[in-house]
Amino acid sequence: MSAAKNDYKKITTHTVFEMKARGEKIAMLTAYDYTMAKIVDHAGIDIILVGDSASNVMAGNSTTLPITLDQMIYHASSVVKATTRCLVVVDLPFGTYQGNSRKALSSAIRIMKESGGHSVKMEGGSEIAESISRVLSAGIPVMGHLGLTPQSIYKFGTYTVRAKEEEEANKLMEDAKLLEKLGCFSLVLEKVPAKLAKEVAESLSIPVIGIGAGDGVDGQVLVMHDMLGMTHEFSPRFLRRYLNLYEDMTNAFMQYIDDVKTQDFPNESEQY
Ligand code: KIV
């Protein structure tokens, strides 16, 4: 398989900044556990996001809101142990940084000290500027997240495309510029029109990584369980499935059950 990637020994926040400067696209995926993170890192991913989407795909919650800081640290420390090359970004979960910059800093410090992650991601723009600044002031790199911000789902009411109207698009552009000015090293844009995302990416020198934000941005991120086809109830337009693991795994489990019931497993060579 051809890999359009450079052979970086270690990806840092500085590397992704340089990738944007030279027009190299950034590949980011979520991971939440040691085994999967090891495979993704070995495959050559640039960034692993230990996303609070763990709340959905690992814990079965319907939103990202319930996941706790302790749970994020558990997932992140498992991922960090598996990686040698990629940059690991860890989501600060809902309720650990909004509205209180001191709490934001102590949450981010816990992530960095207890998981070994390399940076944190925070959802929102001007309303969390103070929290972002305080975290940055401790030398902790911050990735921003604008557009559809799932921690605010009860404010939005739906998971539909954001910033289709001019007013929201203008606010998003202002927030993106503010995040760059504050010192964020990159930015996720989720589910916004491709034209707007391209304009944002072209207006900033930090990399803009899209999910459902079209092809004019500096990189892409997907939730691992979605791109592997392990989840099948969820089929947004932006999602490309690279495998159909839901079906393949179901078939494997059914075959195993059948083999046990029919006493085909274990056979002579599978016992001592
Ligand atoms: O938690 C997550 O997986 C995310 C991505 C969707 C960007 O924030």
Q: Across all residues in the chain, what is the average pLDDT?
A: 97
Q: Is residue 5 in a domain?
A: no
Residue 205: inside a domain, yes or no?
A: yes
List pLDDT tens digits, range 163-220.
999 999 999 999 999 999 999 999 999 999 999 999 999 999 999 999 999 999 999 9
Cα 53 to ligand 1 centre (Å): 6
Instruction: Indicate if 230 and 248 belong to the same structural domain.
Output: no
Q: What's the pLDDT tens digit per position in 155-174?
A: 999 999 999 999 999 999 99
Q: What pLDDT, on the 0 to 100 scale, is given for residue 1?
A: 54
pLDDT at site 124: 98
pLDDT recorded at residue 233:
85
Same domain, 136 and 65: yes
Confidence at 72, pLDDT banded by 50, 70, 90: very high
How remote is the CA of residue 30 from the centroid of ligand 1, in Å? 7
Q: Which atom of ligand 1 is nearest the CA belonging to 52?
A: 1
Same domain, 167 and 226: yes
Which of 48, 190, 192 to mutate for ligand 1's pocket (most ligand atoms within 8 Å of CB)?
Answer: 190
Residue 3 scores a pLDDT above 80:
no
Q: Whose CA is nearest to atom 1 of ligand 1?
A: 51
Kindly state whether residues 223 and 258 are assigned to the same domain: no
Tokens of 258: 């059948």
Instruction: Decide if 6 is inside a domain.
Output: no
Sign of CA dihedral 128, 133, 135, 140: positive
Residues 102 and 226 both lie in one domain: yes
Mutational test site, ligand 1, from 67, 221, 234, max ligand atoms within 8 Å of CB: 221
What residue owns the CA closest to ligand 1's atom 8? Answer: 51
Q: Looking at residue 56, what is its pLDDT?
A: 97
| Structural domain for 79, as ranges | 13-241
Q: What's the domain count of the chain?
A: 2
Annotation marks residue 166 as catalytic:
no
- pLDDT for 4 equals 57
Domain check: are 169 and 252 in the same one?
no
| Residue 106 covered by a domain | yes
Nearest to 9 by CA among 79, 84, 82: 84
Q: Tell me if 143 sits within 8 A of 188, measured CB to CB.
A: yes
Residues with CB under 6 A from ligand 1: 30, 49, 51-53, 91, 188, 190, 211, 221, 223
The pLDDT assigned to 8 comes to: 87
What is 121-169 written as a DSSP string?
Answer: EEE-SGGGHHHHHHHHHTT--EEEEEES-GGGHHHH-S-SPP--SHHHH
Give residue 121 CA to ligand 1 midpoint distance, Å. Answer: 9
Alpha carbon 30 to chain centroid distance? 5
Q: Is 3 part of any domain?
A: no
Instruction: Please tell me the residue having the least CA distance from ligand 1 atom 2.
Output: 51
CA distances from 86 to 46, 66, 132, 133 (A): 5, 28, 23, 25
Query: Does residue 23 lie within any of the structural domains?
Result: yes
Residue 118 domain-assigned (yes or no) = yes
One domain, residues 225 and 261:
no
Residue indicated by tokens 């892409």: 220
* 26 and 152, same domain (yes or no): yes
User: Same domain, yes or no, for 41 and 75?
Assistant: yes
- Looking at the fold, whether 216 and 178 belong to one and the same domain comes out as yes
Q: Which of 24, 123, 180, 190 is catalytic?
A: 190
pTM for this structure? 0.97
Q: Distance from the CA of 190 to the center of ligand 1, in angstroms?
A: 8
Q: Which residue has a Cα nearest atom 5 of ligand 1?
A: 51
Task: Specify the CATH number for the domain of residue 41.
Answer: 3.20.20.60
Interval between CA 163 and ligand 1 midpoint (Å):
18
Backbone angles phi, psi at 227, to 5 degrees: -70, -20
pLDDT in tens, 81-92: 999 999 999 999
| Same-domain pairing of 222 and 266 | no
| Model pLDDT for residues 5-62, shown as the tens digit of each residue | 667 899 999 999 999 999 999 999 999 999 999 999 999 999 999 999 999 999 999 9
